[in-house]
Structure 1
Amino acid sequence: MALPGISLGEWRAQGNDLDFNGHAIRYWDAGKGEPLLLIHGFPTAAWDWHYLWWPLAARYRVIACDMLGFGDSAKPRGHAYRILEQADLQQALLARLEIREPLHLLVHDYGNSVAQELLARHREGRIRLASCVFLNGGLFPETHRPVLSQKLLLSPLGALFGRLFNRARLAANFAKVFGPRTQPSAEELDAFWSLIARHDGPAVMHRLIHYIRDRREHRERWVGAMQHSGVPLRLIDGPLDPISGAHMVQRYRELIADADTVLLDGIGHYPQCEAPEQVLAHYLAFRARLDGTVSGASADAIRNA
């Protein structure tokens, strides 16, 4: 059965506000049970999870925010956006919600880097993580293949290109990174663009793109955290993604011992939007295996489906 999702208007109406260092942050909190933090990617926002939100909230306490510079949260001009600060934001949100038990993570794209920093902090005893599931993202800078728009944002012309970014450019970029049979609808593109454009978002895109440099700077710390944190990991990946698809999964299998990976046939960069039912099934299978409620053979069969 297809997951119905949540309209952007309904999603926005369910949000709450957090003050983070003087900046207004929009966040969402639903369900009961073990806490599950969802972290979105670039250049979109927490609405990316709208298909999975209620199915996950039926089982867990799900939490998500639009990170600083994204979606309906503040987008301060001249701000030095960094992954370390976004990890601080996630921890501030958890403190606001008084979540102290071990935390599960489900993350995508830019959110993968935030999760890697949280894994490093787990090793340092600064947060307690119970598991982490990655969707498509640049876990290794050596395998990241930026699209032209990302290269332009990183260039000296980045500020100008960001201001010229519009819905048509978003549609053209998404057409390249989504699977050929799972392209976003016009309504979805309208919603994505509304979130990017809010608070004059294109004016800060060239600053948000610094995450690509953050990945290079912190590569050893973040990859080491995946290798040595002891936190159970899974990677669910759309292999047709030109940015972080099958080639990134190959590198993951080379560097992560006993790598637990799932490839979603025909899917691109946004599995949670392109194939939410599959992502949900593979995520729940991972959690069931952690809880010991399915046999290893059954888990392997689901993983390799």
Structure 2
Amino acid sequence: MEYERWTSEQRTETVSVDEHDLEVAYYDEGNGEPIVFCHGIPTSSFLWREIAPPLADDYRVIVPDMVGYGNSAMHDGFDRSIRAQEEMIDGLLDELGVDPVTFVGHDLGGGVGLRYAVHEPEAVDRLVLSNAVSYDSWPIETIVDLGIPSTIDEMSVDDVQEMVEKIFRSTLAGDPDEAFLEGMLAPWNTEEGIVSLSRNAIATNTSHTTEIDPGEVTAQTLLLWGGDDEFQPMEYAERLESDVSDAELVGLDGANHWVMVDQPEAYLDRLHSFLEGA
């Protein structure tokens, strides 16, 4: 199983987030300039399985599971918002002695990268945002509902698995990759997992992107966007392109929200060109 191979290659580091010592699982391969990949909800680092490993020949790729996701800490009692995830990223990179980086973020992970690039401009040389949350573009209704404690109390593990699978099957541009689906469902196959997913959902706080000014981003920025996204539509990418001083928008037609899954070859090719300065 691809997910099992991916997780077998992960490392762990303890990172302090809001004075909580939390275990962070991450994939770390290659040498050279560091690239950090950050996923969103309801995914994990496995989202990047077709993008990060090929780049490890030329770069150091670091792909964490956000806290509350994947194989990182899932127990109750800590914040999972993108504000907290930003603190996790900062702490993890400090532990690894990595600075500066190229930051590649999707969905909530893009919101993390946007905040990090604004707050720590010296730490982010280049920024890639893919179908990222920004401004008041989020959360979506499905995620809001999942975050209500009474909702998750009424759902079994099988119910949550079915709901998450339906999200992917209905929003992937082509026929679902069964290995991808298995990997996306794997973290949410226990009671602890589904409670953590609910806590992740309730932590989707619009204020954490509306409180920052994208115009303060100084990093060279690529907006590599799935053109057919119904969750984070192209109009938000166009707004970011207008507000970020050094930004280029590239839309991949035929790709939905999961752009790196819908068009992995085109995504990797365009990302590689950006990294090489082409």
Structure 1 length normalisation: TM-score?
Answer: 0.82
Instruction: Give yes or no for contact 1:16–1:27 (8 Å, CA) kept in 2.
Output: yes
The higher radius of gyration belongs to: 1
Distance 1:232 1:51 in 2: 24
**Deviations for 1:233-269, whole angstroms, at most 9, x for unmatched residues?**
0111112111013232333344334641111111111
Aligned to 1:112: 110
Distance 1:35 1:198 in 2: 34
Structure 1 segments unaligned to the other structure (5+ residues): 1-5, 295-305
The alpha-carbon deviation at position 186 of structure 1 amounts to 2.8
Aligned CA distance change for structure 1 residues 217 and 104 (closer, same or farther; 3 Å) = closer
Aligned to 1:193: 185
Instruction: Give yes or no for contact 1:40–1:111 (8 Å, CA) kept in 2.
Output: yes
Distance 1:249 1:47 in 2: 24
Aligned to 1:85: 84
The alpha-carbon deviation at position 62 of structure 1 amounts to 0.6
Out of 233, 243, 256, which is 2:231 matched to?
A: 243
Distance 1:220 1:255 in 2: 15
Aligned to 1:152: 145
Aligned to 2:160: 166
Instruction: Give yes or no for contact 2:25–2:71 (8 Å, CA) kept in 1.
Output: yes
The alpha-carbon deviation at position 99 of structure 1 amounts to 1.6
Aligned to 2:210: 219
| Alignment of structure 1 residues 250-289 onto 2, 5 Å | 250-257=238-245, 259-289=247-277
Distance 1:286 1:198 in 2: 40
Aligned CA distance change for structure 1 residues 258 and 17 (closer, same or farther; 3 Å) = closer
What letter is aligned with 1:174?
A: F
Residue 177 (structure 1) aligned with residue 171 (structure 2): yes
Aligned to 1:122: 120
Distance 1:87 1:279 in 2: 24
Aligned to 1:11: 6
Structure 2 length normalisation: TM-score?
Answer: 0.89
The alpha-carbon deviation at position 170 of structure 1 amounts to 1.4
Secondary structure (helix, strand or coil) at the match of 1:75 reads coil
Aligned to 2:216: 228
Instruction: Give yes or no for contact 2:2–2:179 (8 Å, CA) kept in 1.
Output: no
Distance 1:45 1:217 in 2: 21
Distance 2:234 2:133 in 1: 12
Secondary structure (helix, strand or coil) at the match of 1:38 reads strand
| Alignment of structure 1 residues 40-59 onto 2, 5 Å | 40-59=39-58
Secondary structure (helix, strand or coil) at the match of 1:212 reads coil
Aligned to 1:133: 128
Secondary structure (helix, strand or coil) at the match of 1:93 reads helix
Distance 1:95 1:199 in 2: 32
Aligned residues: 273
Aligned CA distance change for structure 1 residues 54 and 186 (closer, same or farther; 3 Å) = closer
Aligned CA distance change for structure 1 residues 266 and 206 (closer, same or farther; 3 Å) = same
The alpha-carbon deviation at position 68 of structure 1 amounts to 0.7
The alpha-carbon deviation at position 37 of structure 1 amounts to 0.6
Distance 1:93 1:121 in 2: 16
Aligned CA distance change for structure 1 residues 229 and 250 (closer, same or farther; 3 Å) = closer
**Deviations for 1:120-178, whole angstroms, at most 9, x for unmatched residues?**
2224xxx521100011121221x3471x4213124464443665642221121112322
Structure 2 segments unaligned to the other structure (5+ residues): none
Instruction: Give yes or no for contact 1:51–1:276 (8 Å, CA) kept in 2.
Output: yes
Aligned CA distance change for structure 1 residues 89 and 156 (closer, same or farther; 3 Å) = closer
The alpha-carbon deviation at position 10 of structure 1 amounts to 1.1
Instruction: Give yes or no for contact 2:227–2:251 (8 Å, CA) kept in 1.
Output: yes
Aligned to 1:301: none
